[in-house]
Amino acid sequence: RRPGISAGGGSGAGGVPGDVGGNPAWESGLMLDVYVLDYLRKRQFHTLAENFQKQASVPERALAIDAPSGFLFEWWSVFWDVFIAQTNPTCATEAGSLYLQAQQMKQMQQPNNPVDQARMAVTR
């Protein structure tokens, strides 16, 4: 049992915020540790992975998402593409730029969106 995570799961006393339906398989802190361990192993950081597993008491657990490069790496790649597209468009990847364009179009189609309200205020 690790500090901050209840043995029974859930979001009760000692539980981790963000638990889904009291299901211990989805304890957010535990699952993050499981995927950090997966990332370390897939990057061939075997000694670091072993030490992390021991120190954080990470159990061997089947991964719900077993991405070839690791789930955390996949999510990091998506985050980074979108972040760069927002903060430095000249360095954006095509995927990041397309995602932002799609989000902007979606926002513009929403009724009563802030952009439309601002336009209406200017034309009055």
Cα–Cα distance measured from residue 115 to residue 112, given in angstroms and rounded to the nearest whole number:
8
**pLDDT digits 0-9 by tens, 55-93:** 999 999 889 999 999 999 999 999 999 998 888 888 888
Last residue of a domain, one of 26, 47, 65: 65
- Measure the N-to-C terminal CA separation of the chain; round to a whole number of Å: 62
Q: For residue 37, give the H/E element and its range.
A: helix 28-42
Domain ends where: 17, 32, 65?
65
Number of domains in the chain: 2
Residue 57 and residue 32 in one domain: yes
Question: Using one digit for the tens of pLDDT, what is the confidence trace for 3-40?
Answer: 444 333 333 333 444 444 566 556 889 999 999 999 99
DSSP state of 63: -
* pLDDT tens digits, 43-52: 999 999 999 9
**Domain shared by 22 and 78, yes or no:** no
Same domain, 48 and 97: no
Which is nearest to 101 in space by CA: 120, 84, 79, 86?
Answer: 86
The domain in which residue 1 lies consists of 1-65
pTM: 0.61
Do both 18 and 60 map to the same domain? yes
